[in-house]
Amino acid sequence: MTEPTPIVMIGAAGRMGRMILELAAADAKGFKIVGAVDRADHPMIGKPLSELVPGAPADVCLEAEGPAAVPAGAVAIHFSLPDALGAHLSWNVQAGCAAVIGTTGLGDEQKKMVEAAGARIPVLFTPNTSTGVSVLCWLASEATRLLGPGFDVEIIEMHHHNKQDAPSGTARRLAEVICEASGRDYDRDVIHGRVGQVGARTPREIGMHAVRGGDVVGDHTIVFAGAGERIELTHRASSRQTFAAGALRAAAWLSGRRPGFYSMNDALGLQPSCNK
């Protein structure tokens, strides 16, 4: 019988953290919650996790740091703020604990930090833990390759009005995938919105448009527009449970792996890897 995957939740008091913990607590055969971490000034620090998350164990408290020791095969799932990632990753490496990183809005230095951690521990980094988004990413790469340069590409993403980063990590990754498949350069060829007399659209540019409003969980559409025809690939998330379930699926896959830098595509067996 397979032992449950030990889970440490980083960003446990956030919406995604609580959702992941609820699903993990409801699946005792699949997962065991062994740690929960959030910011030091959170009012629930030091209190039993069961007071924050229904069904969570009462013998695990919300803490400001990861546990000093973790069981073999433990995986930390990160959904915290980007500024906190460095400290949490340092704990990950010291504890020898694998990491699924779903935190978005990372800068170049933070991304390098994530990749460097993969030399010491198993790290799976993805801007979106949804299984459907991973498939969308793969489809975007294939569509770009098959359609060729005769199709203009635009990306539209929409999220709730509280989202702080733009474009979303998923939209950025979709653009990166398309750039990789077509020989484009993200910094040179991705255009973030348009205003004024910008002139005719150039063949290489990828339009990126971020829309914010209401309680939209996450919508992403890629438009491939050619002469006389248009293809649109769309993923719409109606519940955060989609991302929570995907994060746990990734954690179960990552548990016990060799040190390295992995993606959701690795976890799902999709090639080429899209969520670097």
> Model's pTM, two decimal places?
0.81
Question: Cis ω on the peptide bond leading into residue 54 (within 30° of 0)?
Answer: no
* Together in a domain, 121 and 142: no
| 116 and 203 share one domain | no
pLDDT tens digit sequence for 26-76: 999 999 999 999 999 999 999 999 999 999 999 999 999 999 899 999 999
Q: Which CATH number is 95's domain given? A: 3.40.50.720
Same domain, 221 and 256: no
Task: Report the domain count for the chain.
Answer: 2
Instruction: Indicate the angle between helix axes 241-254 and 15-26, nearest 10 degrees.
Output: 60
- In a shared domain, residues 87 and 145: no
Q: What is the C-alpha separation between 220 and 242, in angstroms, rounded?
A: 15
CATH number (domain holding residue 184): 3.30.360.10
Domain co-membership, 94 together with 152: no
Q: Which residue, among 20, 28, 25, has the nearest Cα to 4 in the 3D structure?
A: 28
57: in domain: yes
Same domain, residue pair 248 and 207 = no
- Sequence-distant (6+) residues with CB within 8 A of 96 are 70, 121
Same domain, 63 and 88: yes
Residue position matching structure tokens 């069904």:
55
The answer to whether residues 222 and 181 belong to one domain is yes
What does the DSSP 8-state code read for residue 102? -
User: Is-catalytic flag, 276?
Assistant: no
Q: Are 9 and 36 in contact, with CB atoms under 8 Å apart?
A: yes
The C-alpha atoms of residue 143 and residue 155 are separated, in whole angstroms, by 14
Q: Taking 70 as the threshold, does the pLDDT of residue 275 lie above it?
A: no
- With tokens 């013998």, the residue in question is 59
98 with 161, same domain: the answer is no
Q: Are the beta carbons of 153 and 130 closer than 8 angstroms?
A: no
Among 159, 209, 220, 235, the one annotated catalytic? 159
Tell me the pLDDT tens digit for each residue of 156-203: 999 999 998 899 989 999 999 999 999 999 999 999 999 999 999 999
Residue 16 lies in a domain: yes
CA distance 137 to 96: 30
What average pLDDT does the chain have? 93
- What pLDDT is stored for residue 1 in this prediction? 57
Residue type, 114: V
Query: Is pLDDT above 70 for 271?
Result: no
Identify whether 17 is part of a domain.
yes
Position 273 in a domain: no
Write out the residue range of the structural domain in which residue 196 sits. 131-237
Q: Is residue 274 part of a domain?
A: no
CA 107 to each of CA 81, 83, 112, 137: distance values in angstroms, whole numbers, following the listed order: 12, 10, 9, 21
The DSSP 8-state label assigned to residue 251 in this structure reads H
